[in-house]
Structure 1
Amino acid sequence: MKQIMQAYAKHREVSAQESVARVCGLPLKKCSRTVIFVQTDEDGLKMSLPLSRLKDMGPDEEDVWMSGLPDKYENRPATGDFNDMCLADFASGCRVLYGRQTEGPNAVPLQNDKGFVQKRTQGKSAIIRFTRFSEKKQPEKFYRRLLKLYFPHRTDDELKSEYYPTYEDFYNRGRGGSVKQYVDFNRKRYEGQGKKLRRR
């Protein structure tokens, strides 16, 4: 009786379709679009370089973290479309290249040896995900996320100024109010599309 109970407790029924997919090694889930998480928080998680590289570094070396998507964005080329691109555009419109992919004809080198990217093909832009903060409970993090994602910048210092010391001030009054217009325009392009997709 105990064996029968364990069989029910530890096993589950599998449909014929799922069992065929598992036996044939087919993926159970497939998506036509890539989904990318974009870190916008100052206290975001960072991964250290591999131990093999850390051993070769000096004890006073401070650059021990792997570069993430925001770092690559800040080191994007200062030419053409890249210059006026916000982080959301960069994340959804470009993909990071590794290994032999960097030798391809469409590989674009980033500044400061931060790697290579390639523009995605037309109509295949990635879906971006990000942490959502409450405007009432965490206003600084909320406005930082908006500025970080939707306002073109090269460093985080450009998202504030001495005249507008908070992210909220810079969002509302920066550059004569043009920051808010620019951010809101880009935000509409990326946020609020989920409801439309669910209805279809």
Structure 2
Amino acid sequence: MTIIDGKLTKHYARVWDYCHELLRSNPGSTVQVGVTVNPDQTTYFHKMYLCFKAIKEAIGRDASNQVYPIAWAVVDIENKANGKWFLELLTEDLNLLDGGGFTGLLEATKEVLPNVERRQCARHICANFRKTYTGMEFNNMFWAASFSTVESEFLRKMDDIKEVDPNAYENLLARHPHTWYRAFFRTDVACEAVENGIAECFNAIILDARKKPLLAMFEKLGCT
């Protein structure tokens, strides 16, 4: 693999050259590089953000229900600081202002996009729920509640869960259900998704690319 793609150290040595080449060959795009220094001040990691402004959504579905990405970043660790850095660049690129008219995950958008409609991924809620309440019966009842489009239907589905196990009912109520079932979603946003499948789809496609050194990975991402 080293013979084919080169050493990782050489990739990092060419980060700035790669940045300038992307800007030269893709007019109108945004490429930014930051540096994260470890606490011991002996090593550093380049953070790279790429945004191709020809597409007007960060991650979305087109009229044919096809998924397309607009921006991605490589960071040293997935944390709040790096998430905020990415969102700030994305907000500036797409002129998202305060986030009105868009949806986003709960924690990631609080500071940068205060008016975004905050949601949770129902699939993650379900995965945590099923650690305690196992079996297809609970699974089916959860998704029936999550896909409810009016509040009365949601309450009926939740009552079904309560009849089987009151503790399961209380467990779900404690998880802010207005963020993961459709009946409470704003109609002006026009996004009915209850789970983060759009991002998960992209992550599944790039598994092979993520095994490569930095610049080879970016080239693979660009062709995916």
Same fold per superposition (TM over 0.5): no
Q: TM-score, normalised by structure 1?
A: 0.22
- Which fold has the larger relative contact order, with Cα–Cα distance below 8 Å and residues 6 or more apart in sequence? 1
Whichever structure has more strand as a proportion of its residues is 2
Larger Rg: 1
